[in-house]
Structures are given as structure tokens and as C-alpha cells.
Amino acid sequence: MDDSIKVSVIVAVYNTEKYLRQCLSSIAAQTLHEIEILCINDGSTDGSLAILNEFASSDNRFKIFTKENEGLGAASARNYGLERATGKYISILDSDDWFSPDMLERAYQKAENTEAEIVVFGGVEYDELQGSKKRVASILNCAVIPSKIIFNYKDCFRQIFQLSQGMAWNKLYRRTFLTKTNVKFQKVQFTDDAYFTFAHMVLAEKISVINEDFVYYRVHAGSSQTDKLSNYPDAAFIPYVSLREKLIQAHIYADVEQSFINCAVTFFRYFYDSIREYTALTYLHEKYRKEIFPLFFLEERAPDYFYDRRVYQWVRQILASSAGELSFLALRGYGAVMNTGILRFPLPKDLLPSGEDIYLLADGVKAKYYGAQLVLEDRYRLIHMAEDLDFADMRQLKKATCIFIAYMNEAYTKTIAAELLKRGIAAERIVIG
């Protein structure tokens, strides 16, 4: 350990040139100066590496590494950084997010004063499309923080997994603690930090909290992440299956089981509701019913075991119904009068030829109405559904034989259609709803 370096900041970078300067500038401007900034270029193909080198040329605290991208999120890059960090504490930041100026200093002082292995703090969600910021209570759930300055899972065993979400960037970790646990980031797309974060929250003997917001977390940067979840349905449960095994091995599971189960199932539901492709939805539905729910003994859990009654009701629906049946119920919820078939936004069947593999681009209630109808109609195959189009990742788009564009804003619908034509998509493949 280099005694002169108080905090090692690890930033995994992959094709974020649009946001990277703001991220790196927020670290360079920290009021705590004795830091090293480990930037792991994870095979970027845009201008990210040039920006990293630019910062390193003017500030020797920046250390730039380049590795081949393994295609499974930021886990391998973060683990790469952990192996090379020399600071007393570790901080993790996503390359499209940013810190408030005194974040590292405040967290470092808290850790030093309390000898905490983890310091947890709050964060602000920045919606890029709306240009708005809002505090997200679940990033640091003040309602369940123990009254003690220093605590561990034993002081809040029924709520330890509800204290903070499973992300690494709103926490400062003592490096010797991470070395002792030897728990690494999991190579799972989208949920790579859940296992790492939650495992350390229950393994730590000393946790402290700063009830302030220090991190700005960007959402809706380009295409929504939820548009891509359908490609990795196993990411819904892999971290929680692994975490269950870890808790059992550490002889902690019995103490924290209720908190853990509620955390896991709440995420299972979130992921399920975020799936946009019917094939992925049916796969995940059956995986839940046949493997994951039995592993967690969910069928045997009483209603009052769940912290949120809606989660219990969702579990019962999954166990009792098929994915198609739940889609039918969803359609009714979107305003269908089932005895007449009247819908606010009926499918333009005269424009959508039968047997097509359809890529739906829509938002608002149109997304709900059209998405549900396409799922229920045997004559169509909904292969993907998105609120926005990621032009950097058009794999699903290329699979589609029909691109159905139906935004609430008609002018935006026409704009997207025109952009697709510019990019070589044949006009006969585009349908406007």
C-alpha cells in the first residue's frame, strides 16, 4: 500500500466519450488531492482513450490501462483496477456519472474517524432526456439506517439489503477489507456489481453512513438500458443465486434471509417488468417458476413475509399463470374492453403484414397498447421493443423484417423514420403508427 495515496478511484471506460470529460473532471477537482485515478479503457472504439490520455498528460494522478473488452459489463475492468490499486480506500465510479467536489474528502474523513470498512452515502439521479435531477431514496434508505454511528448487519438484519441499492458507486471501501474478503465483481451484464456490493454489506464489521448526496447517476443516456435487458435474461437472478450461496457459506443466511429474499424478489420483478422481447420474457418466466422460485421457497412464503404486498401478489401470479396469460391481463389493464375488443390504440393490421418479425419503437401508452397486442397476436412476432433507438447497437433492428414506429409525438415518429431511411433501412420495412 502506498501511504501517500488515500483513495484509489477506479473508472471502467467503454465508449463514453460524450460524458467522459465531465466524469474525469469531477474526480480531478476533488478537494482530496492525495488520490490515484485508475482508468481502465475496456476496449473502447470511440474517442474515449484519447480523452483519457489527455487527462493523464496534464495530471499524473491519472493512470491509464487498456484491456480487451470481454462483453460482460464493467466487471472485468473493475477487477483489473482493484488488482492495481494502492490507496488505503477504494472508490468506484461509472464513466458517465460524476462526483460532487468534496465527496472523496468527506467519505475519507468519515472512514478515518470511525474506522469503517464501508462508508455509504446518497446519490442523485440525473435524467438526461428531461434535464432533471432527483434524489433517489433507495440509494440510501434513511428509514432503515441504525441509530448507531458504526453498525453492521446484526444491527439491522431485517433491513440490511434494503439500506442501499446494489451499486458500488455510492460507497467507499477500505482496501484491506476487500483484500480480506476476496469478493470480486461478477461477470454478468447489467448486474455485475450486485453480488460484490451486497456481499460486502453483510461481511463488513463496521459500516458508517453520510446522509448526503455525493454522486450524480445518469439515466437515459442514449437508448435506455432496459431496451437491452432482453438479451441477458439470466442477469435477473445470477447475482442473487451466487449471493445466497455466499451467505450460506458464511453462516449468515439464516440471520438475513427475510431481508435478502425481499431484496432479491423485488429485483426479480423489476427485471421481469423491464423485458421488452416476448421470447426472453417467456424464458425468464419459466426459469422463475421451475428453478429460481423453488430455490428461494417462494411458494411457501406467507403474505406477511413480503415487505411489499404487490411483490407477493406478483409472485403468486408468476406461479399460477403463463407469460401469455399475464400479457393478456396486462392488455386488459391498458384499457381493452375484452367483450368488444375496443382499444384506444388498435394495431394497424392493414399496414402490418402477417408473419413479420417486428421491432417496435414507441413510448407512453402507445408502447403499452401496441406492445401488449403484438404479444397476444399469433400472426406477429415481437422481437424487440424500445423507447429510443440506439444507433450504435442495431443488431436487433437488423433481425426485424418490419420496424413499427409509433411515438406519441408524431413529428418525432417522422424524424426517426427519416433517420432510418438515411441509414439504409428500406422504406418497405418501416411502418408508422
Residues 19 and 80 in one domain: yes
In this predicted structure, the answer to whether residue 294 has a pLDDT above a threshold of 70 is yes
Other beta carbons within 10 angstroms of residue 180's beta carbon come to 11
Q: Which residues contact 256 (CB under 8 A, 6 or more apart)?
A: 153, 157, 160, 161, 202, 247
Residues 61 and 98 in one domain: yes
Residue 20, domain member (yes or no) = yes
Q: Which residues contact 379 (CB under 8 A, 6 or more apart)?
A: 354, 355
Show which of 266, 294, 320 is a domain's final residue: 320
Show which of 222, 253, 276 is a domain's final residue: 222
User: For 360, phi and psi rounded to 5 degrees?
Assistant: -100, 125
Which residue carries 501517500 as its cell?
4
Residue 412, domain member (yes or no) = yes
Residue 121 to residues 141, 176, 204, 324: CA-CA distances in angstroms? Answer: 10, 20, 16, 41
CA distance 26 to 29: 5
Q: What is the pLDDT of residue 199?
A: 98
Residues 417 and 362 in one domain: yes
Q: Angle at CA 420, nearest 5°, toward 414 and 425?
A: 130
Using pLDDT thresholds of 50, 70 and 90, give the confidence band for residue 330.
low
Q: What is the pLDDT of residue 338?
A: 40
Contacts of 267-274 with CB under 8 Å at 24 or more apart are 267/166, 267/194, 267/236, 267/240, 268/236, 268/237, 268/240, 268/292, 269/311, 269/314, 271/229, 271/233, 271/235, 271/236, 272/236, 272/318, 274/226, 274/229
331 vs 186, higher pLDDT:
186
Using pLDDT thresholds of 50, 70 and 90, give the confidence band for residue 331.
low
Residue 331, domain member (yes or no) = no
Mean pLDDT to the nearest integer, 252-267: 97
Residues 123 and 249 in one domain: no
Name the residue type at position 211. N
Mean pLDDT to the nearest integer, 380-407: 78
Q: What is the CATH number of the domain that holds 117?
A: 3.90.550.10
Q: Which residues contact 254 (CB under 8 A, 6 or more apart)?
A: none
Q: Report pLDDT digits (tens) over 28-44.
A: 999 999 999 999 999 99
In this predicted structure, the answer to whether residue 336 has a pLDDT above a threshold of 50 is no
Residue 187, domain member (yes or no) = yes
Q: What is the pLDDT of residue 165?
A: 94
Residues 259 and 148 in one domain: no
Question: What are the residues facing 172 on neighbouring strands?
Answer: 91, 119
Residues 171 and 28 in one domain: yes
Q: Report pLDDT digits (tens) over 6-22.
A: 999 999 999 999 999 99
Residues 240 and 94 in one domain: no
Q: What is the pLDDT of residue 283?
A: 94
433 vs 33, higher pLDDT:
33
Show which of 222, 244, 259 is a domain's final residue: 222
Using pLDDT thresholds of 50, 70 and 90, give the confidence band for residue 391.
low
Q: What is the CATH number of the domain that holds 427?
A: 3.40.50
Q: Report pLDDT digits (tens) over 155-166.
A: 999 999 999 999
| Domain, as residue range, for 398 | 337-432
Residues 275 and 392 in one domain: no
- Tell me what the pLDDT averaged over the chain comes to: 89
Q: What percent of the chain has pLDDT over 90?
A: 61
Q: What is the pLDDT of residue 224?
A: 46
Task: Provide the H-helix boundaries in 12-156.
Answer: 17-28, 48-58, 75-84, 103-114
Of 286, 245, 240, whose CA–CA distance to 262 is shortest?
A: 240
Max distance between CA atoms of the chain, in angstroms, equals: 74
Please state the pTM of the whole predicted model.
0.79
Of 94, 95, 113, 93, whose CA–CA distance to 103 is shortest?
A: 93
Residue 384, domain member (yes or no) = yes
Q: Provide the domain count of the chain.
A: 3
Using pLDDT thresholds of 50, 70 and 90, give the confidence band for residue 222.
very low
Residues 259 and 407 in one domain: no
415 vs 264, higher pLDDT:
264
Residues 181 and 76 in one domain: yes
Residue 1, domain member (yes or no) = no
Residues 169 and 206 in one domain: yes
Mean pLDDT to the nearest integer, 143-153: 96
Mean pLDDT to the nearest integer, 224-229: 61
Min mean pLDDT across 41-45, 212-216, 378-382, 408-412 is at 378-382
Q: What is the pLDDT of residue 339?
A: 39
Using pLDDT thresholds of 50, 70 and 90, give the confidence band for residue 392.
low
Residue 36, domain member (yes or no) = yes
Q: Which residues contact 419 (CB under 8 A, 6 or more apart)?
A: 389, 391
Residue 166, domain member (yes or no) = yes
Residues 204 and 156 in one domain: yes
DSSP state of 342: B
Reading the block at residue 5, the C-alpha cell is 495515496
In this predicted structure, the answer to whether residue 412 has a pLDDT above a threshold of 80 is yes
Q: What is the pLDDT of residue 332?
A: 53
